[in-house]
Amino acid sequence: MTTTSDDLWERVDQALDEIRPYIHSHAGDVNIVDVSDDGVVKLQMVGTCHGCPMSMLTLRLGIERILTEKVEGVTRVVSIRPDDFDYPELQPASD
């Protein structure tokens, strides 16, 4: 069975919907940044989760464990911080 990244993205999002009520109860959320064809899921923890010392524990022992168990094709989960993004439109213009 061939799995496209769009299909994998959808299945990851559905699995995250099962986890989100717990995360929302702590005034946080998790956003999908990217899902690669080789099963690497990049997530961004937002709200009070961003910067929380427990967020990596939540990511590894909660989110990553659930995604790798429930979503066939997920091989790894990576946390992306907001400052990991490249925003070229915010860079100073070169003259």
Give pTM, 2 decimals. 0.77
- pLDDT confidence of residue 1: 40
Digitized pLDDT (tens) for each residue of the chain, 95 residues in all: 445 668 999 999 999 999 899 889 989 899 999 999 899 999 988 888 777 778 777 888 889 999 999 999 999 999 887 665 554 444 444 54
CATH for 5-82 is 3.30.300.130
pLDDT for position 16: 95
In this predicted structure, what is the pLDDT of residue 59? 80
Q: Which residues contact 60 (CB under 8 A, 6 or more apart)?
A: 77
Q: Where are the domains of the chain?
A: 5-82
Cβ-defined contacts of 53-57 (< 8 Å, 24+): 55/28, 55/79
